[in-house]
Structure 1
Amino acid sequence: MKRFLPWIIGAVVIIGIYMWASGIYNKAVTLDQEVKESWGNVNTAYQRRNDLIPNIVSTVKGYAEHEKSTLTAVIEARAKATGITIDPSNVTPEQLAAFNSAQSGVSSSLSKLLVSVEQYPNLKANENFLKLQDELASTENQILTARTRFNEAVKPYNNNINTFPRNILAGMYGLKEKPYFEASTGADKPVEVKF
């Protein structure tokens, strides 16, 4: 029995190291899947907004034929925003900033459109437009929630792969830190609304 003791101890140590290393990797994979799911929710919220925009634009077009530049800006911002796609497993801070910038363009042009709507009392009272405006407000809240949840999913993933000794194994597995959503440039300044 004594001659098998070193083999048994060696096997226990090897199995222990294997379980520890695979546990770290499996935890990182689980957290990475949560980040991907959260990113999917962010995209779904933005898609909902992009689906609403044509309805809002066509409703406003009927009332505000001479506001073409504002409507064109909304349509172009939407096209630019839908043209940017990000793979959540390889997202970089630069990609996230470009995505955020494009989405900010949509938000900015939509707010200009809604301000220009103030000039049309019949449109403001139109039941369909009011419903669309409520849907848009609800969608913006969903986007905020989805972005917040994305950041909440990124934090444990980044903590998991950046703490010692997990960072050593994460580097061996090629796992990289994921960026957070940050506020758009100029978001710290109050919005000026002119009528």
Structure 2
Amino acid sequence: MSDTIIGLTGGVASGKSLAESVFRDLGIFVADADAAARAALAAGSSGLAEVVAAFGAGVLAADGTLDRAAMRRRIFADAGAKRVLEGIVHPRVRASLQAACQAADSPYAVASIPLLAEVGGRSAYPWLRRILVIDAAEATRLARLQARDGIEAGLARRMLEAQASRTERLAIADDVISNDGPPQALATQVAALDRLYRRLAASA
């Protein structure tokens, strides 16, 4: 059982996934909000049934799974639909992450939540002991995003602008890792925080 849960977040192309892998290499359990969101709307789930009740069978693909492309178009065109979908998915994601982290057998657990700043930070996740933000300069993130996804600069910038601002993300942070340098620099910073989090867990 792990009662010390660390929230991990960062904007697109900040290096959050790399930080997750370093925590795992250090023997720390990491629960992923994106995976929890997919499970919340899996075929046969109560979440998917609620989505169909709210939006109709037109959001289903031929095989009975959620037609994610159709759903994405729907919520981008209609802010009200987006709020309805979030009201179905977010409570399930929060409950899933908390249960998984509390059941972890590592000294502490990490809940990786990409949109933590967007959904309310600690007010939405009051059970987080600390919040760690992986931060990188906008120019660094733009370059990484273009290289990673093979996209042009305009689209990369729009993807960054669709998320919380760097200022908003840093405002919810207890701990910040600067990831403008090489991967080893990030790993060193994660290792230092791992030592801190182990001490916090031992004293909880």
Q: Is the shorter-chain TM-score for this pair beyond 0.5, marking a shared fold?
A: no
Higher strand share: 2
Larger radius of gyration: 1
TM-score, scaled to structure 1: 0.27
TM-score, scaled to structure 2: 0.26
Name the structure, 1 or 2, with higher relative contact order (CA <8 Å, separation 6+).
2
